[in-house]
Structure 1
Amino acid sequence: MAAAARAAALVLAGSAAPTSVDLRIPAEQGLRRVELHAASLLDGGDKALAISICDPGAGLDLTRGLEIWVLVSLRSPGEGLQIHAGEGVGRLEQDGSLCISGFARELLELNLSDLLPVLGGLDVEVVFPRGRELALRTSNSAFGVVEGLALIGTQAEVQTSASPDQLQLARERLRELTDQNGFAGRLTLVIGENGLDLAEQLGLSDQQPLLKSGNWIGPLLVAAAESGVRQLLVLGYHGKLIKLAGGIFHTHHHLADARLEVLAALAVQQGLDLESIRAMLQTASMEQAWCWLQAHDLEQAMGLWMAVAEAVEGRSEAYLKRYGCTGMRIGAALFNRDRQLRWAGPEGLLMLRHCGVQLHPLAADSGQGPSLR
């Protein structure tokens, strides 16, 4: 994205269309060269369009090969830089504003700032031609990002949760936490930034250390047991943790999905009728399946998701035993798209109670925050 933006701005300033650009990366020495697909003036020279191809690095990512179009046009001098969401770029459902990370914004500003004195103000519109389609394969909508993919960074700079490097960083952080004086053997493993934010809102960070995990959940379970953790509370989005209930312990979507299939299998165990199970399998997401069942039979819906949480605990303990780890209890706690803590397994309920946290009441679908005792 930043490469295409800089290329378009250079063309607008009178340069020949580049085949690559050198980017400055925040907190990084030197420049990083990024190849361009195309760049050209438009509308008689008042606008410029550049296209780059997403390369997320060594990690697995559905954006690999995604075309990124950036349209740059002039604004009045002194109006600075304005960034807009074009087709396929995510917006925040709450207010319709562009969903962009602080890193991505800083990256654009850093690589366009030297051209602003020459060009004056700039409008930058980012387009992901396949963004809307690809967003359907993510959990973006569960966290209020609609219409496309969020702008989070460039190339391998994005911290991919599927990367082995991220697993190593998490292991190092785990050792730091468990080596601290006064560590009591209790830890909360949170899945992703949304899990971390919710854990802090709930006050879990005041009760026991928090460790953020990406998709390498299985190896971190083993590492936690080997590091002296005795009670591990796993907190995550229901659409992510249900994979553990199916025995999938690396949760990146490129490796395995099967979320609706796992839900259907557990629904069979819970005695749901075949028509209901078929209806859930025909939905487009975990959230839609939950909403459908909740509307048709609230009691069955709550029972099924409690069974999912219990299955997460059971399959996680079985995973540990496979690697000879038997001294750690695992509790599971799941939140929904509104970041409401809604379900927990038997062990998870005990661990939440120890931390003074209770599940969100069912009536809170109105959008209230999480409940504390």
Structure 2
Amino acid sequence: MEKIIKNGSKLKTGYTTGTCAQAAAKAAAVYLFTDKKFDYVEVNILSGKLLKIKIKSLEKYDDYAECSVIKESGDDPDVTNGIEIKAAVYKGYDKLIIDGGKGIGRVTKSGLKVPAGQAAINPVPRKMIAYEMEKVCLDYGYDKSFKVIISAEKGLETAKKTFNERLGIIGGISILGTTGIVEPMSEKALIDTICLEIDSQMEQGRKNILLTPGNYGRNAALEKFGIDIEKGIKISNYIGDTLDYLLYKQPERILIIGHAGKLSKTAGGIMNTHSNYADCRHEIFAAYAALCGAEKQVIEEIFNAVSTDEIDYILMRYNLHEKVWDIVINKIMENIKRRLQNKIQCEVMVFTNKENTWKYSSKALDFIKYFKDI
């Protein structure tokens, strides 16, 4: 596996489940035409790069051969790391069939990259498996095709740690991958998952999309408004990327519910709220407190606060709470509307933990009725 430099550290890359399925399918197909076992198989991924994948098992039966490889995610904290991906390859078919077996999920909802009813093997892995099968036919002068069944040991248990059930993928993991390589802490993979969930919800006919950066406030939102944000889409730090995709998809309404620690950053125009990119919370609240007449001592307290919850408490103590929060909410909405090009209705609800403060944009409370039954 290769290594890349990320955040000042040298990290190992890994292989996608798609690459593992591709490698296992090729090895099994080759083994159908030879009696000699081998320990590694080479596959070409979509970029054209040649990867050498270690084989865990290789067996031949009366009418098929089966190979398994171990998914290696490198330094990426992937729940599928270490899972065993298998491919059973059968000869004698007029056209190529690719399907999922035990431990591979099946798509039950429309809106995903794979049609409902099919195994959750995404288009790029299917394409790469097909490429390998065609190459084996050419290499061995075989004029028929194959049936390839991909399976995953402990796939059902592993899938429970993923978003699959939320997306309508039931019974196991998905075979994924666009490049064939897993990069540690891949932002693209997370953003792709967010976009996939947006696709799924809108394909189901939802016109109103609920977004939440994380898990904070679920019970508060449920008890206060009857909104279960677990039914919303968790967008982590990727507010800007999510809004960009929603601008493309054009739902009717968007409601964002999130903790002040993240959403207040958008008042400063920060649309990736991870602290590695920027953190202007203290500056935002201090600046607006100053505009509202705060003395130097108060501004220093805000700068020295350890959290947004503590800043919230300071604003309460000095009777600045309503004035400062009104400006912050207006700035959040101004930047969100600009990102959405004023083409989609969007409202925001912001809360803190310490005092359970809730602040809303102007029409947020009117939006609640659209999100209670999503």
* C-alpha displacement of 1:266: 4.0
Counterpart for residue 356 of structure 1: 343
Secondary structure of 2:75 counterpart: coil
2:213 counterpart of 1:263: no
Q: Does 1:308 align with 2:255?
A: no
Does 2:104 correspond to 1:89? yes
Deviation at 1:54, TM superposition (A): 0.3
Which position in structure 1 is the counterpart of 2:307? none
Equivalent residues of 1:107, 1:153 under 8 A apart:
no
| Greater helix proportion | 1
Distance 1:9 1:88, change over 3 A: same
The whole-number CA distance in structure 2 between the counterparts of 1:365 and 1:126 is 40
**Consecutive unaligned residues in structure 2, runs of 5 or more:** 1-20, 110-115, 203-208, 235-254, 268-272, 289-328, 347-366
1:103 aligns with 2:124: yes
Amino acid at match of 1:14: T
1:192-271 correspondence runs (5 A): 192=192, 194-195=194-195, 238=211, 241-243=212-214, 259=215, 262-263=216-217, 266=220
**Paired position in structure 1 for 2:28:** 8
Q: Which residue of 1 is the match for residue 311 of structure 2?
A: none
| 1:60-86 CA distance string (max 9 Å, x none) | 21111100111111233xx23210011
Q: What do the CA deviations read for 1:295-316 (whole angstroms, capped 9, x no partner)?
A: xxxxxxxxxx865366641377
- Structure 1 position 59 matched with structure 2 position 76: yes
CA distance in 1, matches of 2:196, 2:117: 24
Please give the residue correspondences for 1:290-309 in structure 2 after superposition, counting only pairs within 5 Å: 307-308=257-258
Distance (whole Å) between structure 1 residues aligned to residue 40 and residue 210 of structure 2:
39
The whole-number CA distance in structure 2 between the counterparts of 1:60 and 1:21 is: 25
Structure 1 distance, partners of 2:64, 2:43, is 21
Per-residue deviation, 1:41: 0.9
CA distance 1:153–1:140, change in 2 (3 Å): same
Q: In structure 1, the residue corresponding to 2:217 is in which secondary structure?
A: helix
1:196-254 CA deviation, whole Å, 9 max, x = no partner? 8959x99xxxxxxxxxxxxxxxxxxxxxxxxxxxxxxxxx974xx442xxxxxxxxxxx
Q: TM-score, normalised by structure 1?
A: 0.53
TM-aligned CA deviation for residue 99 of structure 1? 2.2
The answer for the alignment partner of 1:286 in structure 2 is 230
CA distance in 1, matches of 2:196, 2:105: 22
Partner of residue 253, structure 1: none
Given that 2:91 and 2:147 are in contact with CA atoms closer than 8 Å, whether structure 1 keeps it comes out as yes
Q: Indicate yes or no: 2:46 matched with 1:23.
A: no
In the alignment, the residues of structure 1 paired with residue 281 and residue 368 of structure 2 have an alpha-carbon distance, to the nearest angstrom, of 37
Deviations 1:256-300 (A, max 9, x none): xxx3xx3356459x669xxx9xxx9xxxx9349x9xxxxxxxxxx
Tell me which residue corresponds to 1:335: none
**In 2 relative to 1, CA 17–362 (structure 1 residues): closer, same or farther, beyond 3 Å?**
farther
Structure 1 residue 12: Cα displacement: 1.3
Give 1:26 deviation, angstroms: 2.0
Question: 2:150 is matched with which residue?
Answer: 126
Q: What is the identity percentage for the equivalent residue pairs of Structure 1 and Structure 2? A: 19
Structure 1 equivalent of residue 349 of structure 2: none
Q: Paired residue for 1:157?
A: 180
User: Which whole-Å deviations, capped at 9, do the CAs of 1:156-213 have from their partners, x for residues lacking one?
Assistant: 83454714xx58xx9xxxxxxxxxxxxxxxxxxx9435438959x99xxxxxxxxxxx
Q: Distance in 1 between matches of 2:151 and 2:192?
A: 26
Q: Indicate if the aligned counterparts of 1:71 and 1:126 stay in contact, CA closer than 8 A.
A: yes
- Measure, in 2, the Cα distance between the counterparts of 1:132 and 1:105: 21
2:90 to 73, 80, 86: 73
CA root-mean-square deviation = 4.6
Aligned to 1:249: none
**1:138 paired residue number:** 162
Change (3 A) 1:99 1:362: farther
Please report how far the alpha carbon of residue 13 of structure 1 lies from its aligned counterpart in structure 2 after TM superposition: 1.5
Q: Which amino acid aligns with 1:112?
A: M
Structure 1 residues 311 and 142, CA gap change in structure 2 (3 angstroms): farther
User: Matched residues in 1 for 2:64 and 2:120: separation?
Assistant: 24
Aligned to 1:227: none
What SS class does the counterpart of residue 165 from structure 2 fall into? helix
For 1:65 and 1:315, the matched residues in 2 are separated by 38
Residue of structure 2 in register with 1:48 after alignment: 65
Taking the aligned partners of 1:98 and 1:68, their CA distance within structure 2 comes to 14
| Contact 1:89-1:132 within 8 A present in 2 as well | yes
- Distance in 2 (alpha carbons) for counterparts of 1:93 and 1:123: 22
1:216 match: none
Instruction: Give ranges in structure 1 of 5+ residues lacking alignment.
Output: 171-189, 203-235, 244-258, 291-304, 330-344, 368-373
Of the two, which has the highest radius of gyration? 2
